[in-house]
Amino acid sequence: MGKTYVGSRLRQLRRERDLSQAALASTLGLSASYVNQIEHDVRPLTVPVLLRITETFGVDATFFSRDDDSRLLAEVQDVVLDREICPEPVELQELSEMVYDHPALARAMVEMHRRYRNVRDKLSLATDVRHFPPPTESGGRAVDNPLGMPHEEVRDFFYSRQNYLDELDTSAEALSEELDLDPVDPVRKEDAITRRLGLHGITVHRGTGSEDTLHHLDPDSGTLFLSSKLNSGQRSFRMAAELAHLEATDVLGEAVDAGHFTSEESRTLAARGVGSYYAAALLMPYRRFHTEAEQSRYDIDHLAQLFGTGYETICHRLSTLQRPQLRGIPFTFVRVDRAGNMSKRQSATGFHFTHSGGTCPLWNVYETFTNPGTIMRQLAQMPDGRNYLWIARTVRHHRSRFAEPGKLFAIGLGCEARHAERTVYAEGLDLKNLDTATPIGAGCRVCSRSNCAQRAFPPVHRPLKIDAHTSTVAPY
């Protein structure tokens, strides 16, 4: 294997498992001084030690390889697959070397492509006469901010930070301790937040007076109206979100300013997003939540019952466990509807969502709609050979009467297969034989699989070859 220094990665592994150097050394059958020397890059990682680590902790050798840059590499691949930008194909090895040797330039390249794509899409909309508003009195046309895409800007803001905002998270955790919130006692938790809101002159009232409004803060009367449709956990979350804007104005403002948003709509949407992030961190403080997640082996139902919150809220919080000195499993979190529209997507892993076309129909998140409320598992393999464990289940929002449609989504939570053993969802799965993994891709337009019967579009990275006298399982 040669001399490979992996101090930071071994330290990350140890801290993720909440182990001291002495405990890690004892588990691996090594001396504490030897482990210390590896962590400080005084000694290289040897093959025997690597084998002990993979067998003991269920990680594979790629944990100590360049694959830590896999997410950035996937994003750069998405850029070069855009034929308007790069008409000629670029070898994967060349891209990999660029990402590894010049990560800052690679990130700048991805950011420029994102901005270009936003401008291109909005200009296309703005120049389509079907979407022009009627002429104004002065004879012009009022096109409001044609270059702004608020929801995408905010989504990219969280995505680029791996869905973890340290200052918000630590501030919310400190307030949770100050209020002595008991995460597992919903009544006490709700009462404590209500009293804190009272210090700001805010009273809480059950009932909004509207079937569609779930909560509303009336600044004139100082009243926070909460819908009767909300359960205790949902009420606490919305109260915590409003409390965030009262208690952490500066911290939230700095987070929004750091996004450099291009429109007031984007700033407003981002403000709501960071407020919701703060609320989750207040109700599920990082250290307590991380400890419970590790001890329960990331059992989502158990955590939802323990913290009194919904399935989706727990999944979203699990995707934020990326505090540098106390990381959890790096999860990818998605929310999709029956039509494949992805309304939420965050990733702390190498799993990448392409902007070219839709997602993969073989992905198990879509199967959950035929089995509502049931957790489904899938071992999936991307075209680059990387394996993932996906956990998916449907959730239904805000249906309180018979025949009321409400909202139905599928929630997906995925991690690389090397982390799977740390979860309860790996039980009964043969993780040593990943040949049975379902082959999926980021989307038909960028997927390199040539024999997929579910392919909906031809790939953009190779010429389309069709023989009128020959047919195959794959349509292209």
DSSP string of 416-438, one letter each residue: EGGGGGGSGGGTT--TT-GGGSE
User: In this predicted structure, what is the pLDDT of residue 7?
Assistant: 78
Cβ–Cβ under 8 Å, residues 282 and 245: no
Which residue, among 353, 356, 285, has the nearest Cα to 323 in the 3D structure? Answer: 285
User: In this predicted structure, what is the pLDDT of residue 86?
Assistant: 80
Cα–Cα distance list, 426 to 164, 373, 385, 388, 432 (Å)? 25, 19, 19, 11, 11
DSSP for 64-83?
Answer: GSGGGGHHHHHHHHHHHT-T
User: In this predicted structure, what is the pLDDT of residue 199?
Assistant: 95
Quote the Cα angle for 253-255-261, to 5°: 90
76: tokens are: 């750069």
User: In this predicted structure, what is the pLDDT of residue 185?
Assistant: 85
CA pair distance 436, 430, nearest whole angstrom: 9
CA pair distance 186, 283, nearest whole angstrom: 10
Cβ–Cβ under 8 Å, residues 377 and 389: yes
User: 159-185 burial, b for 16+ CB within 10 Å, e for fewer?
Assistant: bebbbbbeebbebbbebbeebebebee
CA pair distance 280, 317, nearest whole angstrom: 7
3-state secondary structure of 410: strand
441: tokens are: 């891709």
Which residue, among 248, 289, 322, has the nearest Cα to 71 in the 3D structure? Answer: 322
144: tokens are: 């409001």
Helix (H) or strand (E) run with residue 29 in it: none
Cβ–Cβ under 8 Å, residues 293 and 322: no
Domains of the chain, start order: 7-64 (1.10.260.40), 72-110 (no CATH), 156-322 (1.10.10.2910), 329-476 (3.30.450)
Q: Dihedral, CA atoms, 397, 403, 405, 411, nearest 10 degrees?
A: 50
Instruction: Please list the helix, strand and coil fractions of the chain in percent, rounded to the nearest 5, in that order.
Output: 45, 10, 40
What size, in residues, is the chain? 476
Q: Dihedral, CA atoms, 331, 176, 197, 214, nearest 10 degrees?
A: 20
Cβ–Cβ under 8 Å, residues 21 and 36: yes
Backbone phi and psi for residue 469, each to the nearest 5 degrees, phi listed first = -110, 10
Would the CA dihedral through 116, 331, 414, 275 be positive or negative? negative
CB atoms within 10 A of CB 434: 15
Q: Give, to the nearest 10 degrees, the angle between helix 186-199 and helix 232-247.
A: 30
State the 10-residue block means of pLDDT for the chain, 476 residues long.
66 77 88 88 83 71 60 79 77 78 83 79 59 50 52 82 90 95 86 95 86 86 91 92 95 92 90 96 96 96 94 95 86 90 77 64 91 93 84 82 77 91 93 85 76 80 76 76
Cβ–Cβ under 8 Å, residues 449 and 427: no
228: tokens are: 């009767």
Q: Give, to the nearest 10 degrees, the angle between helix 300-307 and helix 311-318.
A: 110
Look up the pTM and report it: 0.74
